[in-house]
Amino acid sequence: MSFYIGREASKLWKRICAETTTEINLLAENWKYLLAGIVFQYIHGLAARGVHYLHRPGPTLQDLGFILLPELGQEKAYISETLFTFIFLSFVLWTFHPFVFKSKKIYTVLIWCRVLCFLVVSQALRIVTFYATQLPGPNYHCREGSKLATLPRPDSIFEVLLINFPRGVIYGCGDLIFSSHMIFTLVFVLTYQRYGTRRCIKQLGWTLSVCQSLLIIASRKHYTVDVVVAWYTVNLVVFFVEKKLPELPDRTNAAATLLLPLSTKDNKDGRTKEENHKLLNGNSVVDPADWRQRTQANGKILEDGHTNHADTAMNGA
């Protein structure tokens, strides 16, 4: 029993090391895209912090969702945040599953490049929208009489740049249309819908997205329009942006194992970075004119023109 556990642990460690080497090579090629996406997350938070200074509390607008859905109240507002945290962490863990499991369909670095691209475009549209029109926030801390509804004039630029994380994000006001929580939720679900393998998890993801939408409205964190706009905007963003992105390489394909050299020695066969990029985009780097039959003899690959000579040598003639 102990021998079996030790053998499986050794296999798992080798799998993790091999995957880490591959992902590091991919990270070296794509770190600029990842860094740009992460920096934009700060810019999005900075924009949400800035619109809070412009927010003016007022009577809550008439909303169909508020009429149909019972109000959860401040005591139960944590339910929607708990569900969002579960969706967020589940997706993050799934993107790192190739390090552990044998069945691998995605590369972690490449999938996060796509996810951040979807997020950046959606959040850019969101920034333009909530700066165009400021609505009185329906959340409890954004209503008239709350000290957090309007921020005092900042004493310095650093007070704005630091965005008072995470309190400034949790208790923000004015960044309504459209819901940031739904942007993340829908991007994650749409990504798994395309690259995930379990049908039951896909169905669960869409079910949780609907529940998340209803809980956001019931918690009075957003108006119904904020959630509705997020549903069709994010789906359209993913649909159109994905057409512009290169297709992810299929890991079940034998060519995917040649995605990147594991060391400088592996690159001595003449494969250039341009060829690796072609493999990365799912294109073949084999010259169609060179599709000739090969014959293997004594561990060497010979051209079809030398086949007879090889057979003669093996027969001792």
Catalytic site positions:
181, 222, 226
3-state SS, one letter per residue, for 234-253 = HHHHHHHHHHHCCCCCCCCC
For residues 149 and 237, what is the distance between their CA atoms, to the nearest angstrom?
Answer: 32
CB atoms within 10 A of CB 261: 15
CA 278 to chain CA mean position, Å: 22
3-state SS, one letter per residue, for 80-125 = HHHHHHHHHHHHHHHHCHHHCCCCCCCCHHHHHHHHHHHHHHHHHH
Give whole-number Cα distances, 251 to 29, 33, 105, 140, 141, in Å: 18, 22, 5, 48, 48
Q: Nearest-CA neighbor of 192 among 183, 184, 182, 202? A: 202
Residue 260 has phi, psi (to 5 degrees) of -145, 150
Give whole-number Cα distances, 50 to 67, 275, 288, in Å: 31, 45, 57
Tokens read off for 66: 């508020």
Q: Is the peptide bond before 166 cis (omega within 30 degrees of 0)?
A: yes
For residues 81 and 166, what is the distance between their CA atoms, to the nearest angstrom?
Answer: 14
Residue 294 has phi, psi (to 5 degrees) of -110, 150
